[in-house]
């Protein structure tokens, strides 16, 4: 059962997730080293591979507000983290869907670090407190991108359909 490895408050900005001074690094293969670079202990734990894939970061409202920088998503995706937040900022949520970062919108969530969370069937169950919290499904239009395996695969499919159509 995945555990909460980091609990954060409201309005966590992309400057906190991926500080601007590392923005010259753009490739998804290279961004994971700078995840939460200013939270030095957490960053060290990530880089030291002490955080298992599927681990959960819990956020408050407006997670990922600020810049459109996609590094803020690829840096988390690179560590196979799951973000469960009360709410997300629009661009971050869209980038997450496009790149296949697992994001869960759970407006009433209550969880602490080290709690085990079960995410299934439209709810998050906090195994430590026994409390259950409903999740909000992503809009259907977004689901098509997820189902295709991300926006690159989805666009590739649309392009190929367009080119195979008789003119």
Binding site for other proteins (CB under 8 A): 11, 13, 15-16, 19-21, 23-27, 38, 61-62, 65-71, 73, 87, 89-91, 94-95, 98-99, 139-142, 144-145, 150-152, 154-156, 158-160, 162-163
What is the torsional sign of CA 91, 141, 79, 62? positive
Give the residue with the Cβ less far from other proteins, 53 or 158. Answer: 158
Question: Rounded to the nearest whole angstrom, what is the least distance from the CB of residue 92 to other proteins in the complex?
Answer: 9
For every residue of 49-90, DSSP letters joined together read T-S-TT-EEEE-TTBTBS---THHHHHHHTTT-EEEES-B-H
Q: Tell me the C-alpha distance between 62 and 145, whole Å.
A: 22
How many whole angstroms separate alpha carbon 70 and alpha carbon 100?
Answer: 12
Q: How far is the CB of 56 from other proteins (least distance, A)?
A: 21
Shortest Å distance, C-beta 120 to other proteins:
25
User: Which of 81/117 has CB closer to other proteins?
Assistant: 81
CB of 94 or CB of 103, closer to other proteins = 94
Rounded least distance, CB 16 to other proteins, Å: 6
Residue 92: both structure tokens together: 């971050």
Q: Which is nearer to other proteins, 26 or 44 (CB)?
A: 26
Closest listed residue to residue 86, CA positions, set 120, 66, 68, 111: 111
Residue listed under structure tokens 């920088």: 69
Please, which residue, 52 or 107, has the CB nearer to other proteins? 107
> CB 97 → other proteins: shortest distance, Å?
9
Quick check: 83 and 76 in contact, CB under 8 A? Answer: yes
């Amino acid at each position: 059962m995945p555990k909460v490895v980091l609990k954060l408050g409201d309005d966590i900005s992309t400057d906190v997730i991926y500080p601007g001074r590392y923005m010259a690094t753009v490739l998804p293969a290279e961004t994971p080293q700078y995840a939460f670079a200013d939270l030095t202990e957490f960053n060290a734990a990530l880089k030291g591979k002490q955080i298992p894939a599927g681990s959960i970061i819990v956020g408050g409202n407006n997670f990922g507000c600020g810049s459109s920088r996609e590094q803020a998503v690829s840096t988390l995706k690179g560590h196979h983290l799951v973000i469960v937040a009360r709410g997300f900022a629009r661009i971050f949520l869209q980038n997450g869907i496009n790149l296949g970062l697992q994001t869960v919108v759970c407006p009433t969530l209550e969880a602490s670090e080290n709690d085990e969370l079960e995410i299934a069937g439209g709810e998050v169950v906090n195994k430590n407190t026994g409390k259950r919290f409903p999740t909000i499904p992503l809009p259907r239009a977004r689901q098509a991108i997820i189902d295709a395996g991300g926006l690159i695969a989805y666009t590739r499919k649309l392009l190929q359909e367009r080119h195979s159509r008789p003119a």
